[in-house]
Amino acid sequence: MSLKLTLPRVIGHRGAAEAAPENTLAGFREAKRQGAVWVEFDAKLSADNRCFLLHDDTVDRTTNGKGAARAKTWDELARLDAGSWKGPQFAGERLPLLKETLALFAELDLAFNLELKPCPGREIETARLVLAELRESWPVSRPSPLVSSFDLPCLEVARDEFPEFPRGLLLEEHPADWAAIARRLDVATVNIWDRDASAEWAGEIKAAGYGLLVYTVNDAERAAQLIGWGVDGVFTDAPRRVGARILDLPA
């Protein structure tokens, strides 16, 4: 896939997850305040198929609730407090629906990477419903989002049914056959874990013509090193701090 999008140096990870509760509207506003032009977030389905934002399989870590997200209806999820765990100033922050998140991005003029993060066993339907909503709510006249996933079935649905969105292959390891996977899924970017990043692999990914993004980089000096290796951009919980170090580096 040719790269239809200009990749940013800095992508606010789950919003601005160091300063504000991850995957919340408050977090995206904070990312914008910190100067982020792009943000990343994780999208999944409620039990009654509403598209909403949450990283984990359960609501335990980032809300005042308990239990598997896939077992909860949107009514139940919408009642949870997704801010207090991060600090009393965020009390009352809710889990956002995808639709309201996209409306906020339009208002703030934020570009984004939507990560398909399905509840286990719901890969295909998550990709279908989330991307259908993205197609409906995000006019093609706006800058194109990047759609990524660790789940290959999600990327297959994206490739076959929603080809207008550039895709990112998220990798948690350094598979020997990464290039074959990237080619088969016809992705625009390869998004690798900082732990696995090396100058050599970065060179291979760039030489193969892919955009290269690295997650999650909160150390500004490490971010500068990655940019020096040819990495296009980093996902960071601290967009202002990391951006201050890398935004002006030469390409």
With contact defined as beta carbons under 8 Å apart, do 116 and 130 qualify?
A: yes
With contact defined as beta carbons under 8 Å apart, do 238 and 216 qualify?
A: no
Given 55, 70, 206, 241, the residue binding ligand G3P (CB under 6 A): 55
Rounded to an integer, what distance in angstroms lies between the CA atom of residue 213 and that of residue 171?
Answer: 11
Q: Is 158 in the site for ligand G3P (CB under 6 A)?
A: no
Q: Residue 192 — φ and ψ, nearest 5°?
A: -110, 160
Stretch that binds Mg ion, among 21-29, 35-43, 176-184, 204-212 (CB under 5 A): 35-43
Does the annotation count 13 as an active-site position?
A: yes
Which residue from 33, 38, 11 is spatially nearest to 105, judged by alpha carbons? 38
- Residue 195 DSSP class: G
- Compute CA distances 45 → 55, 83, 145, 203, 236, whole Å: 11, 20, 19, 37, 25
With contact defined as beta carbons under 8 Å apart, do 14 and 55 qualify?
A: yes
Residues binding ligand G3P: number (CB under 6 A): 11
Selecting among 8, 12, 13, 232, the annotated active-site residue is: 13
Among ligand G3P, Mg ion, none, partner that 191 touches (CB below 5 to 8 angstroms by kind):
ligand G3P
Mask for 186-205, x = binds ligand G3P (CB under 6 A):
-----x--------------
- Residue 41 DSSP class: E
Mask for 96-135, x = binds Mg ion (CB under 5 A):
-------------------x--------------------
Selecting among 55, 99, 128, 241, the annotated active-site residue is: 55
Does the annotation count 174 as an active-site position?
A: no
Nearer to Mg ion, 55 or 76 (CB): 55
Q: Which of residues 74-133 bind ligand G3P (CB under 6 A)?
A: 115
Q: Residue 74 — φ and ψ, nearest 5°?
A: -60, -35
With contact defined as beta carbons under 8 Å apart, do 81 and 93 qualify?
A: yes
The catalytic residue positions are 13, 55
- Write out the residues near Mg ion by the rule CB under 5 A: 42, 115
- Write out the residues near ligand G3P by the rule CB under 6 A: 13, 40, 42, 55, 115, 148, 170, 191, 215-216, 235
